[in-house]
A = this chain, B = another copy of it.
Amino acid sequence: MNMTQREELMKTLHECMEACNYCYDACLQEDDVNMMANCIRTDRECADFCGYTEQALARDTPFAEELLRACAVICRACADECRQHDHDHCKYCAEKCEKCEEACLAFTA
């Protein structure tokens, strides 16, 4: 992974973290929060892990591959959860998670 690739990957992780945290916040304000319980949970997991991974990349962690492998699985699960809901914040989050999963997988061959 060269510097440009790392910057790009960090940006993708960051956008995913923001989308997940935004979706988490919005889910907690929905009329029917029961429906969103799993989405709240996966949003938090995905936001926290993308944020963690991005910061680890920023310090050039020697464990990028391990982190990205786990991150891809978490992003996939969060996308799958968000895809089940019609809220705009869920659709947007699913897109960002899918993009992030793809970016992570590119470095874990």
A interface residues (Cβ-Cβ under 8 A, vs B): 14, 17-18, 21-22, 24-25, 28-29, 31-34, 36-37, 40-42, 44-45, 47-49, 51-52, 55-56, 58-63, 66-67, 69-70, 73-74, 77
Contact = CB atoms under 8 A, between A and B. Distances in A.
B58 A18 contact: yes
**Could you tell me the dominant secondary structure of chain A's interface residues?**
helix
Given A44-B44, A66-B74, 12 more contacts: A14-B14, A29-B37, A31-B34, A33-B34, A33-B36, A42-B62, A45-B61, A47-B59, A48-B52, A48-B56, A66-B70, A67-B70
A66 B31 CA distance: 30
A21 B32 CA distance: 22
